[in-house]
Amino acid sequence: MLRRIKAEQLQVGMFVARLGGPWINHPFWRSRFLVTSDEQVEQIQSASVQDVWIDILKGRNLPTPATPEMMEADVGDDDPESSFEDELERARELIKNGRVLIGTLFNDVRMGRALETHGALLLVDSASTSLSRHSQALLAMARLKTKDDYTYLHSFSVCALMIAVGRNLKLPDGEVRELGLAGLVHDLGKLTLPESLLMKGSDLTPAEEEQMRRHPSAGYRILNEARLYTNIPLDVCVHHHERVDGRGYPFGLVEHEISVHAKIAAICDTYDSLTSNRPRHQAWSPARAMEYIAVRVDTLFDRRVFKAFTRTIGIYPLGTVLRLRSGRLAVVCGQNENELLRPRVMTFFSVTDSKPVAPEVLDLTQSEDTVIAFEDARQWGFTDDQLMAMYAPHAK
């Protein structure tokens, strides 16, 4: 996560990602390095370098926010849009750096230190910028996670999804930013639970279930001590397991008692949990997760929020494998906003012949071929990473 500062603001402990001006004018043969001495600072400041880009996830940040003219959340922001493939690379780097930041934040909480939200908000801003450049790349990349990464990347995935849904609902920008922060911290209460409980591979006992159900209240206490300037993260943290028919926890609230922010979190948290590999659960396909949520609208989930969610990621999200009437398998590589049941797809496998076929991109709104069902890619020997490599060049 990069931030542009003036050379005179450079300090020991900052990680330089890029120096402004021609490289021949400064004394460093490397353009990416950790500043370890006052001598390095003086060398840069005495050279023809006016601006420095620092990576705040790898080194020290400025102690106070810079002015808007000095800020640059992400190099490349002057390009407001990018291709799916280009944004995937940026998203991959953002997620890698974000995992480090979230890990540090979580470890501080485990050690009883005060929650520091400045870095978390900068991560939210970077996710928001990525979604502005391409609405789907970060969401697609964030869904690919291992069991070992689930604790950290689930929070980041929910953050990105909540930002995207909040925008779709046309909530104010400041409110959307707080939604992103809420996504990052919604499961903080789980840090108070034993690791053995969180990683248990078998079904939980009734006593363990009851212990697990305490995590929203525990998270609320942690956030309350942080004295946040907004109530949205607090609300989402304690209420993201409430359900509109009153069957949720910890308070059994009903529809009119649950905020729109908590309703957004309920769907985003459920979707990412269902599509992730984690203890006691093997990842579902995106379409299967959407089907699960859809049949529970008006009982567990809010209808208005669900409609915004489907507009955000589609009935058949990017990367979903579909079986077509022609006897081929196809992977979703784009949405048709007005006809969500007929996305853009790329065919790649013949069910009839049990062998790969030459890829063909189809817009199902303009094709005689139709969707019969969605499929689990693993049953056909394909991983999510393999599918992404296939459809990425054709995604929009």
Q: What percentage of the chain exceeds 70 in pLDDT?
A: 91
> Pick from 96, 94, 49, 87: which is nearest to 73 by CA?
94
- 128-161 pLDDT tens trace: 989 999 999 999 999 988 877 888 899 999 999 9
Task: Give 46's pLDDT tier (boundaries 50, 70, 90).
Answer: confident
- 16-36 pLDDT tens trace: 887 765 444 455 545 578 888
Is residue 329's pLDDT more than 70?
yes
Residue pair 266/301 in contact by the 8 Å Cβ criterion: yes
Domain ranges of the chain: 2-70, 84-313, 321-394
Determine the CATH number of domain 84-313. 1.10.3210.10
Residue 79, pLDDT score: 47
Residue 32, pLDDT score: 72
Is residue 78's pLDDT more than 50?
no
Average pLDDT score, the chain: 88
Token pair listed for 359:
């890829």
Average pLDDT estimate for 280-288: 92
Residue 24, pLDDT score: 40
Residue 115, pLDDT score: 82
Alpha-carbon span 246 to 296, nearest angstrom: 13
Q: Name 301's bridge partners.
A: 297
Residue 76, pLDDT score: 41
